[in-house]
Structure 1
């Protein structure tokens, strides 16, 4: 048996979970003129991916998400990571932006998703032919 570990197995073993037991998510929300932080109830829980975290926490009114390590007292912005995970399950069009949580609407992930949406849709290539003349279309006040 070889002592070498396959690349896929090594990557799977070395990939750190999205949220470890000693970490929490601080959710930043803006209500009116104030900014508020709420601590999610994740202490002691490990989430392998951001999608796993989203199954439990929706982040509906959240603008920014900070992963905070309680041992090191260090925070890291994970808004983009969570927004990417949220958009993986979004099967609507960009016109349905009002259904998105604030942190997704304001993320770079949303801009990338919208750009990709335009590329994924097959363009409508039929040439339009109208039967109305300009007066019928725009009224008789044109001179």
Structure 2
């Protein structure tokens, strides 16, 4: 029997099982808050399917938690990859991203792969790294007497 990618995807485990919930960790000020998504009893085949029902807009981390095994797994990167699949903007639009996407390795990869025309040729531009100087306060503003 030959296994094709489509057939393999058919037998892949769902992204969220009916016994699992997604915990959204949110950071507000100095505190961390955890909100439970309303997906208990629902099966989502992929992260993209879960995103159709939940946006995770204010979440800084997403955890898939198995209520039977009492075990959690950080799925922020997987969901960030799925979120970025539909992001048809530029890295300059970083302010539109949910927190868990903005701080993910998926965003770093997405920015590194983003190519913009520059001077008549294609060049990869490091849009996603915030600009900052390496000078300390004394070097920038001079030493005080």
Q: Shorter-chain-normalised TM-score: which range? A: 0.7 to 0.9
2:26 to 17, 22, 29: 29
TM-score by length of 1: 0.80
1:91 to 88, 91, 101: 88
Structure showing the higher strand proportion among its residues: 2
CA–CA distance in 2 between the matches of 1:21 and 1:90? 28
Q: Which residues of structure 1 form unaligned runs of 5+?
A: 127-143
CA–CA distance in 1 between the matches of 2:7 and 2:101? 32
Aligned to 1:67, the other structure's residue is in SS state: strand
Aligned to 1:48, the other structure's residue is in SS state: coil
Corresponding residue number in structure 2 for 1:65: 62
Q: Which residues of structure 2 form unaligned runs of 5+?
A: 122-145
Corresponding residue number in structure 2 for 1:140: none
Equivalence map 1:1-143=2 (5 Å): 4=1, 6-8=2-4, 11-118=8-115, 121-125=116-120
Aligned to 2:51, the other structure's residue is in SS state: helix
CA–CA distance in 2 between the matches of 1:76 and 1:36? 17
- Computing the radius of gyration from Cα coordinates, the structure with the larger value is 1
**Paired residues, number:** 120
Aligned to 1:7, the other structure's residue is in SS state: coil
For the aligned residues, what is the CA RMSD? 1.4
Aligned-pair CA distance for 1:10? 5.1
TM-score by length of 2: 0.78
- Structure 1 stretches of at least 4 aligned residues deviating more than 6 Å after TM superposition: none
